[in-house]
Structure 1
Amino acid sequence: MSRQEIEEKVREFLIEDLEIDEDKIKDDAKLKDDMGIDSLDFVDIVVIVEKKFGFKIKPEEMQNVITLKDFCDYIEKKLG
C-alpha cells in the first residue's frame, strides 16, 4: 500500500468515523491537542486500523506518535 493510500484511508476514517473537521486534518496537526482525539477515540482508532490495515496497534508503540504525520509513518512502518 502506498503512502498516499494510507493517508487517504486515515483521512477518510478521521472525517467519517471520528467526525473530525476536515480543516483540522493536516500532517503537523497534533492528534490530541489540535484534532481533539481523546482516549475513547483512540479505542475506536485501534479497531478501525485493525479492520482497514490488518494489524493491531500496541499502546507502547504509540508513545511517540504525536502528529498525524507520525501516525501515518507508524502505519507505513507496520505495513512495511
Structure 2
Amino acid sequence: MNKETILEKVNEILVEEFEVDADVISPESNLKDTLGLDSLDYVDLVVSIEANFGVKLGEADFVGIATFEDFYNLIETKIQNKN
C-alpha cells in the first residue's frame, strides 16, 4: 500500500467515522488540535486504524506524533514492518 492510498484511507476514516471536516486535514496540521478528540475518541481511532490497515498501534507509537504527516508515516511504517 502506497503513501497516497494510506493518506486517502485515513482521511476517509476521519471524515466518515469522526465527522472531521475534510478541509481542515492537511499533512502539516497538528493532529491533536485539529481533531479535538478526547481519550475515548483516540481509542476508537486506534481500533479503526488497526482494523482498516491490519496493524497494531500502541501508546509508545504515538510519542513524537504531532502532525497528520507523522501519523501517515507511522501507519506506513507499521504496514511495511508487517510484511
TM-score, L = length of structure 1 = 0.93
Q: Which runs of 5+ in 2 are unaligned?
A: none
Equivalenced residues, count: 80
User: In the alignment, what sits opposite 1:74?
Assistant: 74
Separation of aligned partners in 2, 1:23 and 1:31: 14
- 1:19: Cα distance to partner? 0.5
Separation of aligned partners in 2, 1:58 and 1:42: 11
**CA root-mean-square deviation:** 1.0
Task: Flag the structure with higher helix content.
Answer: 2
Cα displacement string for residues 5-64 of structure 1 (whole angstroms, at most 9, x for unaligned residues) = 100100000000010111111101111112323322211111101110001111111111
* Runs of 4+, deviation exceeding 6 Å: none
What are the residue-to-residue correspondences of 1:10-29 with 2, within 5 Å? 10-29=10-29
Q: Which runs of 5+ in 1 are unaligned?
A: none
Separation of aligned partners in 1, 2:17 and 2:62: 20
TM-score, L = length of structure 2 = 0.90
